[in-house]
Amino acid sequence: MQFVLVIYHGSYPLPGSPEFEAFPAQEKAAIYADYAAINKLENVAGGPPLGLPENATTVRVENGSPVTTPGPYLDVKGAVGGFAVVEADDLEAAIAVAARVPQARLGGAVEVRPSAKYW
């Protein structure tokens, strides 16, 4: 089965922010090592890195026309930080991978969704 992991950044400081830069280098290195280990799993295909929420553009359609606003749809603390696709035998196996994502323990969360085809 295929599952999509939606990674919510949470309260841990965003990379590139002054708060993030203030964290010890060893802590940041450990987090990056955790992500590198997940990316090496044969059953995981990581999505491309997402840019920072403040660089996003939110699109809505009103009266048939696109309307854009600068910034993320969600507030920064709830911002999606990334996603990955996991091939797993069942939900429990996908949850085991999701539990390895640093944001799951650093004030964020990882949503596990079964992949679906709608068309």
Q: What is the pLDDT of residues 44-97, one digit of tens each?
A: 998 877 777 677 777 777 888 887 878 766 544 557 778 899 999 998 899 999
0.85 surpassed by pTM = no
Fold category of 2-114 in CATH: Alpha-Beta Plaits (3.30.70)
CA dist., res. 7 & res. 112, Å (int) = 9
User: For the chain, where are the alpha helices, taking DSSP H only?
Assistant: 18-21, 25-39, 91-98
